[in-house]
Amino acid sequence: MAAEIALVVAFNEEGRVGEVVRELRRSQPAVRIVVVDDGSADGTRAEAIGAGAAVVSHPFNLGYGAALRTGYLYALEHDAARCVLLDGDGQHDPAAAGTVLGPLRSGEADVVIGSRFLVPTGTEMSSVRRLGVRVIALLATVVTGQHWHDAMSGYLGLDRGALQLLTTEILADDYADLDVLIALWGAGLRIVEVPMTMRARSGGRSMLSGMRILHYVYKMGLSIVMAAARARLGRALRRAARVPAPVGRRS
């Protein structure tokens, strides 16, 4: 089992997804590229196929979390040893896929985050959005005890164990990136961050444009607390299961 898969999640990304696939092919020619088309109403599917990707399509839009789960199941069913996950809008630089996969290939990590904040010019974003991302990373750090630079990257590398775990977890569709990371942290997997840059969108619309990021931060804050509580409970139960029961005093 040595297959590697690049999972590209796309919704109405005609005019962008094809170039993402082509850049991935140039960067990682041995990696199988799979586009998860989440019910696009434009030519996303045809463009991805024309660029050389395999495509799995939802009949209608089910949400980002559902698209991720479809991708995870596909990777497992096709015997992937590891995968790299990125978006189809072109913001995640496909040339960085090898950097994200690197710690998985070397065996030093189970999960890799492509972090925008490990380099000074990792990404251009509005001050409101940057503040929201920082607040979320700080909250995730507080509730988990693990320091996160970029908990909302979405540019992830996952080994097979992580994929298997994520197909059994119930994750939120609205903010699946962070729920995914907290679930993986709760399972005790080794998580590392590697530096990457994020490019500007060439078109389409981000779901976190304008002031909506503030409402998103509020909702995600609640999700973080609940997800971390579940993860901490799971870690405690696993530790308890490994500890032998006290030996009673003989009469």
Residues above pLDDT 90, as percent of the chain: 50
58 within a domain of the structure (yes/no): yes
Q: What is the pLDDT of residue 246?
A: 43
The pLDDT tens digits for 104-163 are: 999 999 999 999 888 766 556 667 667 777 777 787 787 778 888 888 788 999 999 999
117 within a domain of the structure (yes/no): yes
43 within a domain of the structure (yes/no): yes
CA 207 to CA 174: how far, in whole Å?
Answer: 10
The domain of 63 spans 3-239
Domain CATH code at residue 32: 3.90.550.10
Domain count for the chain: 1
| Long-range CB contacts (within 8 A, 24+) of 141-145 | 143/224, 143/225, 143/228, 144/182, 144/185, 144/228, 144/231
